[in-house]
Structure 1
């Protein structure tokens, strides 16, 4: 009986240790951003990615954004994850945003460093994801009301000038 308990506990420990950690992650990602800023005040950034591990599972993931904030990553399906955030449209620059993704071990290490007042960049991320923002459309350079007012002034000028030639 004692041998069976020892054998069962050995298999349990080895099975959970083998299946728990994700090794050799294969990551594919897609990103989306708001591109029309004429009616919104914030630009939304969304990164969808899938993680396939050669062994184990990725588990809970955490994202560190460029401003240093850390947010949990949403699990949207089996092996599918999503992280999103917003930024004011005036501050949103075009280009790539690098998002550092951490597993639970990396997140724990970051929390320890932040409590000690140190930088989190010494922790190696689980992987990184890039979100490309091509820029946002803020409307035309010249407002249509301004063009209409200029056109009305030009038409009025030619009407008055033509009337003056006809009358004289």
Structure 2
């Protein structure tokens, strides 16, 4: 009986590190693309989108990831092929001004620590993310200061006025 207990204990000691570190992505490599709303003429909100693929050294697939963007936590959505993800942030242009946004990504364990720190009111800046992606948002363009319709109308009025005054000089 004691030999069976010792064998089970030995097997559990061997499998314990594998079960603890089995769900963690080791040495993550990320390739990302980002998009941000370029103009405010055709949209009311600013949209920031980051699409990325994740490769882990230990070939871990379909990891649950969570993004922390300026204190806002959102889940990363898996799209298409394995280990391809996307996040999107939408808000008013005033709340998403131009600049570089550092997006920190956490796995399940890191997300639990992040939520714990947020609930207790502690700073989350000391938490080490799985990886970070920087999104550069140049800001939104609100259009020209003078609308093209106004320029066309003013040109038409000036041309009409010049023609009218020249006609008056010819008749006099």
TM normalised by structure 1 equals 0.84
Map Cα deviations across residues 22-53 of structure 1 (whole Å, 9 max, x no partner): 21111221111222321101121111112211
Partner of 2:86: 82
Q: Which moved more, 1:18-27 or 1:84-93?
A: 84-93
Structure 1 counterpart of 2:115: 111
Instruction: Give the superposition deviation at 1:158.
Output: 0.8
Name the counterpart of 1:124: 128
CA RMSD after TM alignment: 2.5
Q: How many angstroms apart in 2 are the aligned matches of 1:90 and 1:148?
A: 32
Aligned ranges 1:1-150 → 2 under 5 Å: 2=4, 6=8, 13=16, 15-55=18-58, 57=60, 59-66=63-70, 68-76=71-79, 77-150=81-154
- Unpaired segments ≥5 residues, structure 2: none
Aligned pair count? 167
The alignment's TM-score, normalised by the length of structure 2, stands at 0.82
* Segments ≥4 residues shifted beyond 6 Å: none
- Structure 2 SS opposite 1:41: coil
- Stretches of structure 1 lacking an aligned partner (at least 5 in a row): none
